């Protein structure tokens, strides 16, 4: 199958980049369905195994088929450079039942009976909270870095070179962007109406696009640097502060310039949540951290005292 998007006047303003947390959430089910194709994700998959007993695995399993296709309605067009998950869930919640049935039957066959949309959303929300949210800041940072790289490539080498660098299946010839997909369905062509959205993904191995011509113009492509995603991050800390607090606690203060949960910090550093919590409790008891509940998580950030201490140590 070949999908062709006709750019209107080949206007740069008509090509935009956007990051979608829901897109990443649904595409990650590919690794769940076929772990052998995703060896780089083994640390995350190991953690997922422990969480499975708390998830609606029956519903989640139906959101991807044996060819690793996911339904189009779970990849709504992002409306901002970094979409909010809550907004994307709201878009999916408004999907007509006929569209849900159409998309899931295109994955599983005409006799398939899809679960209610409310159950699908509930399963995905639970999956996000238990398996995805702690890792999302690292994923988002990698995706944002990819978008920055693509923008620089457009400025330095041009639009055609940028498209050629997205994936082997994508090319720009004249004013037509062509995406070649692994399916035998009929080829179609449509104008972009002045807008084509490009979305990087840490779960895509090549490039994909909605298989229905009724969906908005969208190309999902593999982000750069995915091989580094699950490597433990270094924990740099100023020498004077490390001598006072210890390397780990000083490094945590550096990390907590922006709020984070103990689970998120453990995921970044490649250690257990229990180990991180011990240090966080000590820092909070010493007046160097403050905490607040956000949903099911407790977020920590530096206190004003810690900000001043860190500034004097740099």
- Ordered by where they begin, the domains of the chain are 2-227 (no CATH), 239-313 (1.10.10.10)
Distance CA 232, CA 211 (A): 37
| Cα Rg of the chain, angstroms | 22
Nearest-angstrom CA–CA distance, 117 and 92:
9
Report the DSSP beta bridge partners of residue 260.
300
> pLDDT tens digit string along 162-176?
999 998 889 888 888
pLDDT beyond 60 at 225:
yes
| Residue, of 238 and 222, whose pLDDT is higher | 222
| Average pLDDT, integer, range 205-209 | 85
Per residue in 18-34, pLDDT (tens digit) is 999 999 999 999 998 89
Dump pLDDT digits (tens) for 76-90: 888 788 889 999 999
Mean pLDDT of all residues belonging to the chain: 86
Q: What is the pLDDT of residue 46?
A: 81
Confidence of residue 230 (pLDDT cuts 50, 70, 90): confident
- Collect all residues with Cβ–Cβ distance below 8 Å to 100 and sequence separation of at least 6: 71, 73, 114, 117, 120
Is 238's pLDDT higher than 80?
Answer: no
133 — pLDDT class (breaks 50, 70, 90): confident
pLDDT confidence bin for 246, thresholds 50/70/90: confident
Could you tell me the sign of the dihedral formed by the alpha carbons of 136, 140, 141, 142, in that order?
Answer: positive
- Identify which has the larger pLDDT, 294 or 251: 251
pLDDT at 11: 55
Beta-carbon neighbour count of residue 71 at 10 Å?
27
Between 125 and 188, the higher pLDDT residue? 125
Angle, alpha carbons 128-198-90 (nearest 5°): 40
* Nearest CA among 276, 278, 200 for reference residue 233: 276
Question: What is the model's pLDDT at position 43?
Answer: 79
pLDDT digits (tens, 9 = 90+) for 276-293: 899 999 999 999 999 888
The pLDDT, as a whole number, for residue 101 is 94
User: Which pLDDT belongs to residue 100?
Assistant: 95
Binned at pLDDT 50, 70 and 90, residue 10 comes out as low
| Kind plus residue range of the DSSP H or E element containing 43 | helix 42-51
What's the pLDDT band for 213 if we cut at 50, 70, 90? Answer: confident
Q: Which residue has the higher pLDDT, 210 or 12?
A: 210
**Starting at the edge strand that comes first in sequence, how are the strands of the sheet with 289-294 ordered?**
260-261, 297-302, 289-294
């Amino acid at each position: 199958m070949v999908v062709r998007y006709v750019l209107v006047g080949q206007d740069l303003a008509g090509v935009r980049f956007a990051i979608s947390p829901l897109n990443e959430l649904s595409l990650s089910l590919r690794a769940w369905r076929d772990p052998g194709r995703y060896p780089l994700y083994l640390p995350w998959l190991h953690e997922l195994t422990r969480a499975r007993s708390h998830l609606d695995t029956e519903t989640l399993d139906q959101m991807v088929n044996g060819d690793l296709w996911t339904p189009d309605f779970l990849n709504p067009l992002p409306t901002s450079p970094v979409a909010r998950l809550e907004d994307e869930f709201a878009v999916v919640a408004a999907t007509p039942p006929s569209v849900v049935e159409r998309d899931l039957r295109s994955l599983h066959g005409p006799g398939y009976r899809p679960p209610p949309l409310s159950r699908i959303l509930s399963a995905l929300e639970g999956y996000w909270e238990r398996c995805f949210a702690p890792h999302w800041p690292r994923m988002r940072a990698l995706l944002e870095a990819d978008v920055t790289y693509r923008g620089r490539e457009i400025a330095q080498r041009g639009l055609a070179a940028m498209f050629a660098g997205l994936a082997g299946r994508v090319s720009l010839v004249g004013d037509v962007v062509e995406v070649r997909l692994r399916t035998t369905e009929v080829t179609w062509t449509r104008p972009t109406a002045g807008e084509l959205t490009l979305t990087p993904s840490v779960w895509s191995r090549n490039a994909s696009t909605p298989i229905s011509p009724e969906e908005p113009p969208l190309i999902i492509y593999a982000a750069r640097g995915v091989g580094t995603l699950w490597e433990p991050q270094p924990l740099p800390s100023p020498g004077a502060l490390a001598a006072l607090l210890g390397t780990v606690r000083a490094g945590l203060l550096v990390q907590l310039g922006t709020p984070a949960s103990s689970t998120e910090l453990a995921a970044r550093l490649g250690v257990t949540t229990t180990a991180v919590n011990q240090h966080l409790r000590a820092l909070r008891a010493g007046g160097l951290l403050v905490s607040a509940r956000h949903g099911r998580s407790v977020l920590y950030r530096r206190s004003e005292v810690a900000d001043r201490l860190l500034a004097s140590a740099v």
